[in-house]
A and B are shown apart, each in its own frame.
Chain A
Amino acid sequence: AQTVTQSQPEMSVQEAETVTLSCTYDTSESNYYLFWYKQPPSRQMILVIRQEAYKQQNATENRFSVNFQKAAKSFSLKISDSQLGDTAMYFCAFMKLSGGSNYKLTFGKGTLLTVNP
């Protein structure tokens, strides 16, 4: 079974600054995806960024980028130029791709990020 650990329950950052959220995972699988999802207060969860395990290049989406360290099983999210709208709960998630995985997600406990004006 896979586990996902987010060791920072809460973080805060000043608007326009950069913040990094940590995530580690444990798996014996070699073929998988990793995700960061954002859940704003009272709104639905949306995908921030996705990383395929077979890709060495770190994924980037505008102000969001990841540092994927496969050997260390680490997958951190960096948010640059933080905006007030980035305030949300952030979840790291794992998806196994092989062996009848059914593509379900295994989530960490989340990190509540607050962006201060």
Chain B
Amino acid sequence: DTGVSQNPRHKITKRGQNVTFRCDPISEHNRLYWYRQTLGQGPEFLTYFQNEAQLEKSRLLSDRFSAERPKGSFSTLEIQRTEQGDSAMYLCASTVVNTEAFFGQGTRLTVV
């Protein structure tokens, strides 16, 4: 296991389309986080899973966003009816409690 893997690395979509991103965490990590990073800003927290349970969602996560982590393994983040304001880097991180968070390389979304 070489780290947190995110796919795709880049996604260009037309406004109004749905997109789905995948995150494969480090296998023994039970905690998984999604962050969004826009140009010139630091990452902002979107949502958190402990195993398969989604325990926290940011107010940034509108009704068009949904995340899942079936069986506590990989996670998906879906954005429905994309808007130009959704263009950002979406980062996934995994950890076990009291250790550092390991980040994936991110998925860069461009909505045209």
Q: Interface on A for B, CB 8 Å cutoff?
A: 4, 6, 9, 35, 37, 42-47, 50, 91, 93, 102-110
Contacts and interface: CB of A to CB of B under 8 A. Distances in A.
Contacts of A107: 42-44
A91 B100 contact: no
A43 B35 CA distance: 16
Contacts of B98: 103
B97 A103 contact: yes
Interface of B: 3-4, 31, 33, 35, 40-45, 48, 50, 55-56, 91, 93, 95, 97-98, 100-101, 103-106
B14 to A, nearest CB: 25
Given A107-B44, A109-B41, 6 more contacts: A44-B105, A45-B91, A46-B103, A104-B48, A105-B33, A105-B43
* Complex A-B, nearest 4 residue pairs according to Cβ-Cβ distance, in ascending order: A107-B42, A45-B103, A47-B100, A44-B105
10 contacts: A6-B42, A9-B40, A44-B104, A44-B105, A103-B31, A103-B97, A105-B45, A106-B45, A109-B41, A110-B42
A24 to B, nearest CB: 14
Contacts of B106: 44
B103 A91 contact: no
B101 A91 contact: no
Given A44-B4, A102-B48, A103-B95, A109 B31 contact: no
B42 A108 contact: yes
A39 to B, nearest CB: 8
Nearest to A35: B100
Contact of A105 (B40, B50, B97, B101): B101
B100 A109 contact: no
